[in-house]
Structure 1
């Protein structure tokens, strides 16, 4: 029984030590928007993302936006009126090409008939 428990603990330790899990953070800012994009790399072909989009421009009022962040896009999202921001999560992929540290991620945000595009880079 002791040997089995030790074997299970040893195998668990090896699996945890070999885990490829890592987090990459990308940021960028345009004239009216700033974006933080976090890629959670689960393995060499699996990731999920979190993002925060913040309005930094001068026009007052609630913003409803459409956006593309890398491979993630959404339409008709409304910013939180107190923080002028939107947080969420995007694509979770398995069997995909995952984000790399030296990647540049294109962000395009469209609102009120206007559009802004800029690049996010890792810190």
Structure 2
């Protein structure tokens, strides 16, 4: 039981976790940097479709660029509203005052989002 409590406390005490958020006309985005117990971190980009009809969005292409790296993906929204992209490692993380640029393309539409940081 003591080890279990230490793990829970270690997860709660990390002040270095950050979230970057932003929105456009049809999308909102959240990019989270979460530190693990060791020196690794997990990056999670969550794109949420804010439009009226997610069933007709179809294939979504997205890419993001931060000072610490970039990523991209393509997926079917299939009536859901969220797309989640995860990565991680022990390399660089975005600086808290940086901007993460996200581009989303679907059905001939394209929107760009600029995410800024706030503490979790």
Q: What TM-score comes out, normalization by structure 2 length?
A: 0.68
Structure 2 residue aligned with 1:121: 116
Larger Rg: 1
- Give how far 1:26 is off: 0.7
**C-alpha RMSD of matched pairs (Å):** 2.7
Which of 61, 66, 71 is 2:61 aligned to?
66
1:30 aligns with 2:24: yes
Flag structure 1 segments of 5+ consecutive residues without an equivalent: 1-15
Flag structure 2 segments of 5+ consecutive residues without an equivalent: 1-9
Structure 1 residue aligned with 2:89: 93
Which of 101, 105, 112 is 1:106 aligned to?
101
Structure 1 residue aligned with 2:5: none
| 1:21–1:41 CA contact under 8 A, matched in 2 | no
> What CA distance in whole angstroms lies between the structure 2 residues aligned with 1:113 and 1:24?
33
- Give how far 1:116 is off: 0.9
Structure 1 residue aligned with 2:41: 47
Give 3-state SS (helix, strand or coil) of 1:52's partner.
strand
| 1:36–1:51 CA contact under 8 A, matched in 2 | yes
Q: What TM-score comes out, normalization by structure 1 length?
A: 0.67
> What CA distance in whole angstroms lies between the structure 1 residues aligned with 2:92 and 2:46?
22
